[in-house]
Amino acid sequence: MNAPPRPTARTPLLSLDAAMADLLSRVQALTAEETVATFDADGRVLAEDLVSALQVPPNDNSSMDGYAVRAADVTGPGVVLRVSQRIAAGHEAQALEPGTCARIFTGAPMPEGADAVVMQEDTIEVGGNIHGVHIQAVPEVGQWVRRAGEDVTRGTVVLARGQRLSPAGLGLAASLGRAHLSVKARPRVALFSTGDELVMPGEVPPEAMKPGAIYNSNRFFLRALLHRMGGEVSDLGIVPDRREATIAALKTAADHHDLILTSGGVSVGEEDHIKPSVQQLGSLDLWQIGMKPGKPFAYGSVRRGADASGLCHFIGLPGNPVSSFVTFLLLVRPFLLRLQGVPLELSQALPAATRLPAHFNLVRADKRREFLRVRRNAAGGLDLFPNQSSGVLTSAVWGDGLVDNPAGTTIAHGDLVSWISFADLLA
Protein backbone atom coordinates (compact mmCIF):
# COMPACT_ATOMS: atom_id res chain seq x y z
CA MET A 1 0.00 0.00 0.00
CA ASN A 2 1.39 3.36 -1.05
CA ALA A 3 0.64 5.57 1.90
CA PRO A 4 0.91 9.31 1.26
CA PRO A 5 3.49 11.00 3.47
CA ARG A 6 2.27 11.43 7.01
CA PRO A 7 1.44 15.07 7.62
CA THR A 8 3.80 16.76 10.00
CA ALA A 9 3.85 20.22 11.49
CA ARG A 10 5.72 21.24 8.38
CA THR A 11 3.09 19.95 5.95
CA PRO A 12 2.04 23.08 4.05
CA LEU A 13 -1.49 24.18 4.77
CA LEU A 14 -4.02 23.80 1.99
CA SER A 15 -6.23 26.85 1.57
CA LEU A 16 -9.92 26.37 2.26
CA ASP A 17 -10.69 27.49 -1.30
CA ALA A 18 -8.33 24.88 -2.73
CA ALA A 19 -9.75 22.18 -0.44
CA MET A 20 -13.28 23.14 -1.46
CA ALA A 21 -12.43 23.10 -5.15
CA ASP A 22 -10.73 19.72 -4.83
CA LEU A 23 -13.54 18.23 -2.77
CA LEU A 24 -16.32 19.47 -5.05
CA SER A 25 -14.48 18.31 -8.16
CA ARG A 26 -14.84 14.74 -6.86
CA VAL A 27 -18.64 14.82 -6.67
CA GLN A 28 -20.90 13.64 -9.40
CA ALA A 29 -24.60 14.10 -8.85
CA LEU A 30 -26.44 10.89 -8.01
CA THR A 31 -28.64 9.78 -10.86
CA ALA A 32 -31.40 8.08 -8.88
CA GLU A 33 -34.73 9.92 -8.76
CA GLU A 34 -38.02 9.19 -7.11
CA THR A 35 -41.55 10.53 -6.97
CA VAL A 36 -42.75 11.86 -3.65
CA ALA A 37 -45.92 13.51 -2.43
CA THR A 38 -45.62 17.30 -2.49
CA PHE A 39 -46.49 17.16 1.20
CA ASP A 40 -43.27 15.25 1.86
CA ALA A 41 -40.94 17.17 -0.44
CA ASP A 42 -39.62 19.85 1.92
CA GLY A 43 -35.84 20.07 1.51
CA ARG A 44 -35.78 17.73 -1.47
CA VAL A 45 -34.11 18.66 -4.76
CA LEU A 46 -36.32 18.83 -7.84
CA ALA A 47 -35.47 16.40 -10.61
CA GLU A 48 -37.80 18.13 -13.09
CA ASP A 49 -38.67 21.63 -14.22
CA LEU A 50 -42.10 22.59 -12.92
CA VAL A 51 -43.86 24.24 -15.85
CA SER A 52 -47.16 25.84 -15.08
CA ALA A 53 -50.16 24.46 -16.97
CA LEU A 54 -52.29 27.36 -15.79
CA GLN A 55 -52.07 30.90 -14.61
CA VAL A 56 -52.16 31.76 -10.92
CA PRO A 57 -54.50 33.28 -9.95
CA PRO A 58 -56.70 31.81 -12.70
CA ASN A 59 -58.79 34.99 -13.05
CA ASP A 60 -58.98 38.58 -11.86
CA ASN A 61 -60.26 38.56 -8.29
CA SER A 62 -60.80 40.86 -5.39
CA SER A 63 -58.17 41.34 -2.71
CA MET A 64 -60.68 42.93 -0.30
CA ASP A 65 -64.15 42.48 1.08
CA GLY A 66 -66.15 45.32 -0.50
CA TYR A 67 -67.92 46.29 -3.71
CA ALA A 68 -66.84 45.70 -7.30
CA VAL A 69 -67.53 48.73 -9.48
CA ARG A 70 -66.81 50.27 -12.83
CA ALA A 71 -64.55 53.11 -11.66
CA ALA A 72 -66.09 55.49 -14.20
CA ASP A 73 -69.50 55.08 -12.50
CA VAL A 74 -68.16 56.68 -9.32
CA THR A 75 -68.01 60.25 -10.50
CA GLY A 76 -67.39 61.68 -7.04
CA PRO A 77 -67.56 60.78 -3.35
CA GLY A 78 -71.09 60.12 -2.19
CA VAL A 79 -72.39 58.34 -5.30
CA VAL A 80 -75.00 55.68 -4.48
CA LEU A 81 -74.89 52.45 -6.49
CA ARG A 82 -77.46 49.66 -6.41
CA VAL A 83 -76.04 46.25 -5.39
CA SER A 84 -76.97 43.99 -8.33
CA GLN A 85 -75.30 40.73 -7.29
CA ARG A 86 -73.32 39.05 -4.54
CA ILE A 87 -70.10 37.16 -5.35
CA ALA A 88 -68.38 34.98 -2.78
CA ALA A 89 -64.99 33.26 -3.24
CA GLY A 90 -65.39 30.06 -5.25
CA HIS A 91 -68.58 31.22 -6.97
CA GLU A 92 -69.18 32.49 -10.47
CA ALA A 93 -69.88 36.14 -11.28
CA GLN A 94 -72.36 37.54 -13.82
CA ALA A 95 -71.40 40.52 -15.98
CA LEU A 96 -71.87 43.72 -13.99
CA GLU A 97 -75.03 45.62 -14.88
CA PRO A 98 -73.99 49.15 -15.89
CA GLY A 99 -74.44 51.72 -13.15
CA THR A 100 -74.53 49.12 -10.36
CA CYS A 101 -72.03 47.46 -8.07
CA ALA A 102 -71.52 43.90 -6.86
CA ARG A 103 -71.02 42.84 -3.25
CA ILE A 104 -67.71 40.99 -3.41
CA PHE A 105 -65.46 39.08 -1.00
CA THR A 106 -61.72 38.47 -0.92
CA GLY A 107 -60.69 35.91 -3.53
CA ALA A 108 -64.01 36.11 -5.42
CA PRO A 109 -63.82 36.56 -9.22
CA MET A 110 -64.31 40.06 -10.58
CA PRO A 111 -67.48 40.38 -12.66
CA GLU A 112 -66.99 41.27 -16.29
CA GLY A 113 -67.27 45.03 -16.71
CA ALA A 114 -66.00 45.88 -13.22
CA ASP A 115 -62.49 47.32 -12.97
CA ALA A 116 -62.05 48.27 -9.30
CA VAL A 117 -63.06 47.29 -5.79
CA VAL A 118 -64.10 49.76 -3.12
CA MET A 119 -63.31 48.34 0.28
CA GLN A 120 -66.16 47.84 2.68
CA GLU A 121 -64.72 50.41 5.10
CA ASP A 122 -65.16 53.15 2.45
CA THR A 123 -68.89 52.49 1.98
CA ILE A 124 -72.14 52.91 3.90
CA GLU A 125 -75.07 50.60 3.23
CA VAL A 126 -78.26 52.30 2.11
CA GLY A 127 -81.47 50.66 3.33
CA GLY A 128 -85.00 51.00 1.95
CA ASN A 129 -86.49 49.33 -1.11
CA ILE A 130 -83.30 49.40 -3.10
CA HIS A 131 -80.30 47.67 -1.66
CA GLY A 132 -77.50 50.11 -2.39
CA VAL A 133 -74.28 51.55 -1.06
CA HIS A 134 -72.95 55.00 -0.64
CA ILE A 135 -69.45 55.02 -2.10
CA GLN A 136 -67.38 57.45 -0.07
CA ALA A 137 -64.04 57.30 -1.91
CA VAL A 138 -63.48 57.50 -5.67
CA PRO A 139 -61.60 54.35 -6.72
CA GLU A 140 -58.74 54.15 -9.18
CA VAL A 141 -58.96 51.61 -11.99
CA GLY A 142 -57.41 48.36 -10.78
CA GLN A 143 -57.75 49.18 -7.09
CA TRP A 144 -57.87 46.05 -4.86
CA VAL A 145 -57.91 43.78 -7.89
CA ARG A 146 -55.50 40.86 -8.13
CA ARG A 147 -54.78 40.29 -11.81
CA ALA A 148 -55.06 36.88 -13.42
CA GLY A 149 -51.57 35.42 -13.78
CA GLU A 150 -49.91 38.01 -11.57
CA ASP A 151 -48.25 35.22 -9.57
CA VAL A 152 -47.59 32.68 -12.34
CA THR A 153 -48.15 32.87 -16.10
CA ARG A 154 -48.95 29.73 -18.05
CA GLY A 155 -45.96 27.92 -19.58
CA THR A 156 -43.29 29.41 -17.36
CA VAL A 157 -40.75 27.36 -15.39
CA VAL A 158 -41.85 28.15 -11.88
CA LEU A 159 -39.33 25.96 -10.08
CA ALA A 160 -36.30 24.58 -11.85
CA ARG A 161 -34.64 21.19 -11.79
CA GLY A 162 -31.86 21.25 -9.21
CA GLN A 163 -33.70 23.68 -6.97
CA ARG A 164 -34.08 22.72 -3.33
CA LEU A 165 -37.68 22.90 -2.18
CA SER A 166 -38.59 25.18 0.69
CA PRO A 167 -41.95 25.30 2.48
CA ALA A 168 -42.93 28.21 0.18
CA GLY A 169 -41.83 26.13 -2.81
CA LEU A 170 -44.20 23.33 -1.78
CA GLY A 171 -47.05 25.84 -1.66
CA LEU A 172 -46.14 27.15 -5.10
CA ALA A 173 -45.99 23.63 -6.55
CA ALA A 174 -49.40 22.92 -5.01
CA SER A 175 -50.81 26.13 -6.53
CA LEU A 176 -49.98 24.61 -9.94
CA GLY A 177 -52.00 21.52 -9.09
CA ARG A 178 -49.04 19.24 -8.37
CA ALA A 179 -49.73 16.57 -5.74
CA HIS A 180 -46.52 14.67 -6.55
CA LEU A 181 -43.07 15.79 -7.55
CA SER A 182 -40.08 14.12 -9.10
CA VAL A 183 -37.07 14.64 -6.83
CA LYS A 184 -33.49 13.44 -6.60
CA ALA A 185 -32.81 10.46 -4.36
CA ARG A 186 -31.50 11.27 -0.91
CA PRO A 187 -27.78 10.58 -0.55
CA ARG A 188 -27.32 7.54 1.70
CA VAL A 189 -24.83 8.44 4.39
CA ALA A 190 -23.22 6.12 6.92
CA LEU A 191 -22.19 8.02 10.01
CA PHE A 192 -19.80 6.84 12.63
CA SER A 193 -17.86 8.28 15.49
CA THR A 194 -14.40 7.17 16.52
CA GLY A 195 -12.77 7.47 19.91
CA ASP A 196 -12.50 5.08 22.85
CA GLU A 197 -13.19 7.98 25.22
CA LEU A 198 -16.72 8.36 23.86
CA VAL A 199 -19.78 7.31 25.84
CA MET A 200 -23.34 7.57 24.63
CA PRO A 201 -25.67 9.75 26.70
CA GLY A 202 -28.06 7.45 28.53
CA GLU A 203 -25.53 4.65 28.87
CA VAL A 204 -23.64 6.07 31.83
CA PRO A 205 -24.99 8.81 34.15
CA PRO A 206 -22.78 11.92 34.51
CA GLU A 207 -21.77 11.04 38.08
CA ALA A 208 -20.51 7.61 37.02
CA MET A 209 -18.37 8.76 34.05
CA LYS A 210 -14.83 7.38 34.25
CA PRO A 211 -11.92 9.86 34.19
CA GLY A 212 -11.20 10.80 30.58
CA ALA A 213 -14.57 9.68 29.31
CA ILE A 214 -16.75 12.20 27.47
CA TYR A 215 -20.19 12.03 25.95
CA ASN A 216 -20.44 11.66 22.20
CA SER A 217 -21.80 15.02 21.14
CA ASN A 218 -20.69 15.03 17.50
CA ARG A 219 -22.95 12.11 16.67
CA PHE A 220 -25.99 14.15 17.60
CA PHE A 221 -25.31 17.28 15.60
CA LEU A 222 -23.82 15.46 12.62
CA ARG A 223 -26.85 13.24 12.34
CA ALA A 224 -29.17 16.27 12.55
CA LEU A 225 -27.08 18.23 10.04
CA LEU A 226 -27.14 15.31 7.62
CA HIS A 227 -30.91 15.12 7.87
CA ARG A 228 -31.19 18.85 7.27
CA MET A 229 -29.05 18.62 4.18
CA GLY A 230 -31.26 15.89 2.72
CA GLY A 231 -29.24 12.83 3.72
CA GLU A 232 -30.67 9.43 4.60
CA VAL A 233 -28.57 8.50 7.59
CA SER A 234 -27.46 5.09 8.78
CA ASP A 235 -26.03 5.72 12.19
CA LEU A 236 -23.35 3.11 12.82
CA GLY A 237 -22.61 4.46 16.28
CA ILE A 238 -19.19 4.43 17.85
CA VAL A 239 -16.61 2.29 16.12
CA PRO A 240 -13.97 1.10 18.57
CA ASP A 241 -10.38 2.30 18.04
CA ARG A 242 -9.33 -1.05 16.55
CA ARG A 243 -8.21 -1.74 13.00
CA GLU A 244 -10.38 -4.84 12.31
CA ALA A 245 -13.49 -3.17 13.70
CA THR A 246 -12.86 -0.07 11.61
CA ILE A 247 -12.28 -2.08 8.43
CA ALA A 248 -15.39 -4.15 9.00
CA ALA A 249 -17.50 -1.04 9.55
CA LEU A 250 -16.12 0.65 6.44
CA LYS A 251 -16.64 -2.44 4.27
CA THR A 252 -20.30 -2.88 5.15
CA ALA A 253 -20.98 0.82 4.92
CA ALA A 254 -19.40 1.24 1.47
CA ASP A 255 -21.70 -1.27 -0.23
CA HIS A 256 -24.91 0.44 0.76
CA HIS A 257 -24.05 4.11 0.96
CA ASP A 258 -22.96 7.05 -1.15
CA LEU A 259 -20.89 8.65 1.60
CA ILE A 260 -19.24 7.49 4.80
CA LEU A 261 -18.83 10.34 7.28
CA THR A 262 -16.74 9.94 10.40
CA SER A 263 -15.61 12.22 13.17
CA GLY A 264 -12.35 12.03 15.06
CA GLY A 265 -9.06 10.34 14.42
CA VAL A 266 -7.78 12.55 11.63
CA SER A 267 -5.46 14.80 13.63
CA VAL A 268 -1.72 14.73 13.22
CA GLY A 269 -0.07 12.25 15.56
CA GLU A 270 -3.36 10.54 16.31
CA GLU A 271 -3.24 6.88 17.17
CA ASP A 272 -5.43 6.48 14.22
CA HIS A 273 -7.24 3.54 12.67
CA ILE A 274 -9.22 5.46 10.12
CA LYS A 275 -6.30 6.31 7.90
CA PRO A 276 -4.74 2.87 7.37
CA SER A 277 -8.18 1.27 7.17
CA VAL A 278 -9.49 3.58 4.47
CA GLN A 279 -6.19 3.28 2.63
CA GLN A 280 -6.43 -0.49 2.70
CA LEU A 281 -9.92 -0.39 1.20
CA GLY A 282 -9.44 2.51 -1.19
CA SER A 283 -7.61 5.76 -0.92
CA LEU A 284 -7.36 8.63 1.51
CA ASP A 285 -5.93 12.14 1.47
CA LEU A 286 -5.32 13.74 4.82
CA TRP A 287 -5.47 17.47 4.42
CA GLN A 288 -4.24 20.18 6.72
CA ILE A 289 -6.60 22.99 5.81
CA GLY A 290 -5.59 26.56 6.58
CA MET A 291 -8.72 27.19 8.60
CA LYS A 292 -9.52 27.56 12.27
CA PRO A 293 -11.28 25.68 13.68
CA GLY A 294 -11.02 22.55 11.59
CA LYS A 295 -7.49 22.05 10.33
CA PRO A 296 -7.45 18.25 9.92
CA PHE A 297 -9.82 16.92 7.27
CA ALA A 298 -9.77 13.73 5.27
CA TYR A 299 -11.24 12.88 1.90
CA GLY A 300 -11.07 9.48 0.31
CA SER A 301 -13.02 6.68 -1.23
CA VAL A 302 -13.74 3.10 -0.33
CA ARG A 303 -14.11 0.37 -2.98
CA ARG A 304 -17.37 -1.50 -2.92
CA GLY A 305 -17.55 -5.28 -2.62
CA ALA A 306 -18.26 -7.75 -5.42
CA ASP A 307 -22.04 -7.33 -5.49
CA ALA A 308 -21.91 -3.55 -5.54
CA SER A 309 -19.86 -1.50 -7.93
CA GLY A 310 -17.87 1.68 -7.84
CA LEU A 311 -16.62 3.73 -4.98
CA CYS A 312 -18.19 5.17 -1.88
CA HIS A 313 -17.07 8.65 -0.87
CA PHE A 314 -15.33 8.97 2.48
CA ILE A 315 -15.08 12.16 4.53
CA GLY A 316 -13.32 12.24 7.88
CA LEU A 317 -14.09 15.26 10.04
CA PRO A 318 -11.99 16.36 13.00
CA GLY A 319 -13.08 15.20 16.44
CA ASN A 320 -13.17 18.52 18.23
CA PRO A 321 -16.86 19.38 18.29
CA VAL A 322 -16.63 22.93 16.93
CA SER A 323 -14.17 21.83 14.23
CA SER A 324 -16.49 19.03 13.27
CA PHE A 325 -19.49 21.38 13.20
CA VAL A 326 -17.79 24.11 11.18
CA THR A 327 -16.13 21.79 8.65
CA PHE A 328 -19.49 20.15 8.09
CA LEU A 329 -21.12 23.51 7.34
CA LEU A 330 -18.32 24.76 5.11
CA LEU A 331 -17.31 21.60 3.27
CA VAL A 332 -19.77 18.73 3.72
CA ARG A 333 -22.83 20.91 3.11
CA PRO A 334 -21.86 21.93 -0.45
CA PHE A 335 -20.64 18.37 -1.07
CA LEU A 336 -24.08 16.97 -0.19
CA LEU A 337 -25.88 19.61 -2.24
CA ARG A 338 -23.78 18.72 -5.29
CA LEU A 339 -24.40 15.04 -4.66
CA GLN A 340 -28.13 15.75 -4.85
CA GLY A 341 -27.81 17.59 -8.12
CA VAL A 342 -27.95 21.18 -6.92
CA PRO A 343 -25.99 23.12 -9.57
CA LEU A 344 -23.86 24.83 -6.96
CA GLU A 345 -20.97 26.88 -8.32
CA LEU A 346 -17.71 26.81 -6.42
CA SER A 347 -18.25 30.50 -5.65
CA GLN A 348 -21.57 29.60 -3.99
CA ALA A 349 -20.19 26.88 -1.74
CA LEU A 350 -20.23 29.38 1.11
CA PRO A 351 -23.39 31.45 1.48
CA ALA A 352 -22.97 35.17 0.75
CA ALA A 353 -21.48 37.10 3.65
CA THR A 354 -22.81 40.39 5.04
CA ARG A 355 -20.45 43.18 6.04
CA LEU A 356 -21.10 44.16 9.65
CA PRO A 357 -19.12 46.13 12.20
CA ALA A 358 -17.19 44.14 14.80
CA HIS A 359 -18.03 45.19 18.33
CA PHE A 360 -14.96 43.41 19.63
CA ASN A 361 -11.20 43.34 19.21
CA LEU A 362 -9.18 40.43 17.90
CA VAL A 363 -5.66 41.35 18.87
CA ARG A 364 -3.91 38.14 17.93
CA ALA A 365 -4.06 37.36 14.24
CA ASP A 366 -3.97 33.67 13.33
CA LYS A 367 -1.98 32.39 10.39
CA ARG A 368 -5.07 30.43 9.33
CA ARG A 369 -8.33 31.82 7.96
CA GLU A 370 -10.49 31.96 11.03
CA PHE A 371 -14.21 31.36 11.46
CA LEU A 372 -15.19 33.13 14.65
CA ARG A 373 -18.43 32.37 16.45
CA VAL A 374 -20.26 35.66 16.84
CA ARG A 375 -23.73 37.02 17.43
CA ARG A 376 -25.45 40.14 16.09
CA ASN A 377 -26.36 42.61 18.80
CA ALA A 378 -29.17 45.16 19.09
CA ALA A 379 -26.80 47.95 17.99
CA GLY A 380 -26.29 46.29 14.59
CA GLY A 381 -22.81 45.03 15.38
CA LEU A 382 -21.25 41.66 16.16
CA ASP A 383 -20.28 40.36 19.58
CA LEU A 384 -17.60 37.70 19.85
CA PHE A 385 -18.07 34.59 21.97
CA PRO A 386 -15.28 34.94 24.54
CA ASN A 387 -13.97 31.37 24.27
CA GLN A 388 -13.15 30.44 20.67
CA SER A 389 -11.63 27.05 21.55
CA SER A 390 -12.56 24.30 19.11
CA GLY A 391 -13.80 22.19 21.99
CA VAL A 392 -16.34 24.74 23.23
CA LEU A 393 -19.60 23.84 21.55
CA THR A 394 -21.43 26.50 23.56
CA SER A 395 -19.98 29.05 21.12
CA ALA A 396 -21.92 27.51 18.25
CA VAL A 397 -25.17 27.53 20.20
CA TRP A 398 -24.70 31.06 21.52
CA GLY A 399 -23.68 32.39 18.10
CA ASP A 400 -25.88 33.16 15.13
CA GLY A 401 -23.10 32.97 12.59
CA LEU A 402 -19.42 33.01 11.73
CA VAL A 403 -17.05 35.83 10.94
CA ASP A 404 -14.92 34.78 8.00
CA ASN A 405 -11.64 36.44 8.96
CA PRO A 406 -8.74 36.28 6.48
CA ALA A 407 -5.47 34.73 7.65
CA GLY A 408 -3.12 37.06 9.47
CA THR A 409 -5.75 39.73 10.15
CA THR A 410 -6.44 41.45 13.44
CA ILE A 411 -9.81 43.07 14.07
CA ALA A 412 -10.36 46.39 15.82
CA HIS A 413 -13.68 47.50 17.29
CA GLY A 414 -15.70 49.08 14.47
CA ASP A 415 -13.96 47.28 11.60
CA LEU A 416 -16.30 45.88 8.96
CA VAL A 417 -16.06 42.09 8.86
CA SER A 418 -17.74 39.35 6.80
CA TRP A 419 -20.53 37.60 8.65
CA ILE A 420 -22.10 34.37 7.39
CA SER A 421 -25.32 33.41 9.13
CA PHE A 422 -25.87 29.95 10.56
CA ALA A 423 -29.38 30.15 9.11
CA ASP A 424 -27.90 30.28 5.59
CA LEU A 425 -25.40 27.55 6.42
CA LEU A 426 -28.20 25.30 7.62
CA ALA A 427 -30.44 25.88 4.62
The site for Mg ion (CB under 5 A) is made up of 195, 264-265, 319
Our CB check for ligand AMP shows the closer of 194 and 340 to be 194
Work out what residue 163 binds among ligand AMP, Mg ion, none; the CB cut-off runs from 5 to 8 Å by kind: none
Task: Give me the numbers of helices (H) and strands (E) for the chain, helices first please.
Answer: 9, 26
Give the Cα separation of 247 and 240 in Å (integer). Answer: 11
As measured in angstroms, the least distance from the Cβ of 264 to Mg ion is 4
Residues binding ligand AMP: what is the number (CB under 6 A)? 19
Residue 270 in the binding site for ligand AMP (CB under 6 A):
yes
Give the Cα separation of 321 and 301 in Å (integer). Answer: 24
Select from 26-34, 150-158, 260-268, 345-353 the region that touches ligand AMP (CB under 6 A).
260-268
> Could you give the strand order of the β-sheet that contains 79-87, starting from the edge strand earlier in sequence?
116-119, 66-69, 100-104, 79-87, 132-135, 123-126
Site string for ligand AMP, 179-198 (x = CB under 6 A): --------------x-x-xx
Q: Which residues pair with 116 in a beta bridge?
A: 69
Residue, CB closest to ligand AMP: 319
Which of the residues 35 through 74 are near ligand AMP (CB under 6 A)?
Answer: none
**SS3 (DSSP) at 110:** coil
Select from 32-40, 169-177, 215-223, 361-369 the region that touches ligand AMP (CB under 6 A).
215-223
Phi-psi bin for 246: left (phi > 0), alpha (psi -120 to 50), beta?
Answer: alpha
Our CB check for ligand AMP shows the closer of 55 and 194 to be 194
Cα separations in angstroms, 372 against 75, 292, 387, 390, 412: 64, 8, 10, 10, 14
Q: State which H helix or E strand residue 355 sits in.
A: strand 354-357
As measured in angstroms, the least distance from the Cβ of 395 to ligand AMP is 14
Query: Cα angle vertex 392, ends 391, 393, to 5°?
Result: 105
Residue 280 in the binding site for ligand AMP (CB under 6 A):
no
As measured in angstroms, the least distance from the Cβ of 271 to ligand AMP is 9
Tell me which of 7, 57, 139, 318 binds ligand AMP, using CB under 6 A.
Answer: 318
Residue 217 in the binding site for ligand AMP (CB under 6 A):
yes
Q: Which residues pair with 382 in a beta bridge?
A: 358, 376
Residue 321 in the binding site for ligand AMP (CB under 6 A):
yes
As measured in angstroms, the least distance from the Cβ of 238 to Mg ion is 11
Examine residue 293 and say whether the peptide bond preceding it is cis (omega within 30 degrees of 0).
yes
Neighbours of 228 (CB within 10 A): 13
Residue 320 in the binding site for ligand AMP (CB under 6 A):
yes
Instruction: Give contact residues for ligand AMP (rule: CB under 6 A).
Output: 193, 195, 197-198, 214, 216-219, 263-267, 270, 318-321
